[in-house]
Amino acid sequence: MLQVEGLYLRRGNQPVLHGIDLQLLPGQVVGVLGPNGAGKSSLLSVLCGELQPDRGHVTLQGRALGDWPGQARAQRLAVLPQVASLDFAFRVDEVVAMGRLPHATGQRRDAQIVEAALQAADALHLLDRSYLALSGGERQRVHLARVLAQLWPGQDGATLLLDEPTSMLDPLHQHTTLDAVRRFADQGAAVLVILHDLNLAARYCDRILLLEQGRCHAFSTPQAVLTPAALKAVYGIDVLVQAHPERGHPLIIAR
């Protein structure tokens, strides 16, 4: 469980984030939405400890993030960056196995977890391919499997932060990926995911944080946040919002 209160962050003299209060609860997927430059990635950097906030503090399971020893923290908090650069010809299973570094669960158990995580990310067939030979989307799924493996099986106490995990994926894999994330949360993990696609957010997230110029415009359920008025105010687009005919979650259609 990750919690942040009264978050304030500056870059130079420019405030990037203010007054953000956020709690990631076990079993919940929180989506972060907002236009370019709204502070989504900065928020993620603060939440994972890469950036120090100027005010406010981040706690992981009630303990300040900075007080955790690196390994113990890594057992509880995993981060999937937008792009990972890896220029060495690792095999896919080796890349995913790096997620097991913070643990000492033994080779056999790790191999099982690697396989399960790859399966969850719909990338098991890539198992013995060279990472360098993969497409951008395949690499993204491999890294997802890596962070899943890091927190596997994703029980209560695990927190997963994802920065646009679907940016390079085809429509099918956008859904399989978020489906995997959803199921991971269902097992008890707390998840925060930055997304650009409003409909994906509406479908897979329990709560949505809508950011506007570093401020929290709204933080609530998809139905409450994704209103035509809010989207007009934040993105400047005119939309129709209807209920999904089968699932009932909001469906956003540009006018």
Residue 98 CA to its chain's centroid (Å): 19
Indicate the residue among 82 and 223 with the shorter CB distance to another protein. Answer: 82
**Nearest approach, Cβ of 60 to another protein (angstroms)?**
13
Indicate the residue among 58 and 78 with the shorter CB distance to another protein. Answer: 78
Q: Could you give the 3-state DSSP secondary structure of residue 109?
A: helix
Indicate the residue among 154 and 250 with the shorter CB distance to another protein. Answer: 154
| 150, two tokens | 């890091």
Q: Could you give the 3-state DSSP secondary structure of residue 191?
A: strand
Which residues 6+ apart lie within 8 Å of 8 measured at CB? 15, 17, 18, 19, 53, 54, 55, 56
Tell me how many degrees the CA angle 127-133-139 measures, rounded to the nearest 5.
Answer: 65
Nearest to 60 by CA among 69, 79, 70, 73: 73
Region for residue 39 given its phi and psi (left: phi exceeds 0; alpha: psi -120 to 50; beta: otherwise):
left
Indicate the residue among 39 and 81 with the shorter CB distance to another protein. Answer: 81
**Nearest approach, Cβ of 195 to another protein (angstroms)?**
20
**Nearest approach, Cβ of 203 to another protein (angstroms)?**
27
101/97 Cα distance (integer angstroms): 7
Indicate the residue among 113 and 230 with the shorter CB distance to another protein. Answer: 113
Answer whether 95's CB lies under 8 Å from 146's CB: yes
Indicate the residue among 36 and 85 with the shorter CB distance to another protein. Answer: 85
**Nearest approach, Cβ of 78 to another protein (angstroms)?**
6
**Nearest approach, Cβ of 139 to another protein (angstroms)?**
11
**Nearest approach, Cβ of 148 to another protein (angstroms)?**
13
Q: Which chain residues interact with another protein by CB under 8 A?
A: 48-50, 70-75, 77-79, 81, 84-91, 94-95, 98-99, 101-102, 128-130, 133, 150
The number of beta carbons lying within 10 Å of the beta carbon of residue 122 is: 18
